[in-house]
Amino acid sequence: MQRRLLLQQLTAASGLLAAPQLLIRPALAERGAAYQRIWDADQSNRGLPALTGRERGDKGRGYVRIDTADPIDRSDRVLAEVVIPADKRASYDLCKPLFDNFRLDQTKPEDTSPAEAREILALLTAVTDSAPMEEARRLVGELRGRDYSKGSWQDLIFTLWFRQFDDGRNRDLSGFEHVAVGEQRAGSVSGYHFWYKYYLDDWGLLGNGDVIDVDGLRFDRRLLGVHDEVPEVLTLAFRWRAPEAGTSAQRPIYKPVGSFWVGCSIEGLMALGTLRFFERGPVTATINRGRYQLDLYRSPDNQSLRTFFPELIGLA
């Protein structure tokens, strides 16, 4: 059964198919502070502090330790240590089963089982009321001049992140698949902007062995060495022996340059992208000591998110 038809059947009763006209209004007056508020809300909930190699971590709070000692070779793990305490695990455990639900090849249609569709709904339910999403809900409401009920907010998150759309030859795309999981475009990795997915792939925690080889950092030369100041972001190249869902095959594909925040939960990442979706034109924001350009592209019909990722452009 086509994925979109199955999701329609399973979500219609919950009212998750609304596709509101997503009118884009002028940017927030204090956009940098807005993104910091979402980041802080996530860190107070399920987000994890990003640490450099010499910093001491608090296991009760959890953390992600990065290792960017130069030179980096293929055997190195830049996400050297991850500690997720039990009280923060919920959304990490809910998003993990989704990572093998999508085809690598963007030109192929998606087929989904009822169990996989329920996994999507379980994650959607978990993130809707989360602390960073509540902050994003308030900020988007300010931008759009409206109040969102829980149901209308969940409709919006579904539309932006999980609704499937076509883009020319590319079939059944979604923001979640592209941003959180990654796709194949010929011999290259497309998307793949979630640190937790990278960590699971690199440490062989998805049942496929270690399928990541790092190929070095890719910062602008003017920003080399900034990890001591901004451990919350990585920009790197890597090789991914990407497993094909439902088979034992692995496809070797390459990411020449890609970036992702380190330590945000899936709901934190989605909350940041949801706010960015409604801002017009180039957007820069400051989170902790990093200053970022927030890159975002939308679906052809302007209803859903196609991709979203940070580009570090300096220190605040």
* pLDDT for the residue 287: 96
Strand-strand pairing, 188-190 and 183-185: antiparallel
* pLDDT for the residue 18: 45
* pLDDT for the residue 26: 47
What is the number of domains present in the chain?
A: 1
| Domain extent for 150 | 3-315
**In this structure, how many other beta carbons lie within 10 angstroms of the beta carbon of residue 201?**
23
User: Cβ distance 244 to 251 under 8 Å?
Assistant: yes
Residues in the chain where the model's pLDDT stays below 70: 1-32, 70-71, 221, 224-225, 227, 246
* pLDDT for the residue 17: 45
* pLDDT for the residue 285: 94
